[in-house]
Amino acid sequence: MESLRAYLQKLAVPQQHEYAERAGTSLGYLRKSLSVGSRFGGVLARRLDEASGGEVPRYELRPDIFGEGPEEAAGQSR
């Protein structure tokens, strides 16, 4: 979730809305999920990853579904 928080913080508010829309959700939903620590479904985690160009990795959002990220699997740390 920290990568999502960091990604949103670097965007201006209009860009945050555009990002959420590209991922098929709303900025309000993302903000609420961050504040209460909700887990995203697998489809949304994948869309958030793709819409961010990989800056919000699906592996971090849902490691129970997507497993370790490529760096972790290769023994590298981020």
What is the number of structural domains in the chain? 1
pLDDT value at residue 76: 55
**Domain-located, residue 31:** yes
CA 66, CA 41: separation in Å to the nearest integer?
A: 11
Assess contact for 26 and 34: CB atoms under 8 A: no
Q: Are 24 and 48 within 8 A, CB to CB?
A: no
pLDDT over 60 (residue 78):
no
pLDDT, one tens digit per residue, over 14-61 is 999 999 999 999 999 999 999 999 999 999 999 999 999 999 999 999
The pLDDT of residue 72:
58
What pLDDT score was predicted for residue 68? 81
**Average pLDDT for 1-18:** 97
Domain of 45, in residue numbers: 2-64
User: Is 19 inside a domain boundary?
Assistant: yes
- In this predicted structure, the answer to whether residue 4 has a pLDDT above a threshold of 70 is yes
Does residue 72 lie within any of the structural domains? no
Task: Please check whether residue 76 is in contact with residue 68, taking contact to mean a CB–CB distance below 8 angstroms.
Answer: no
25 φ, ψ (degrees, to nearest 5): -140, -165
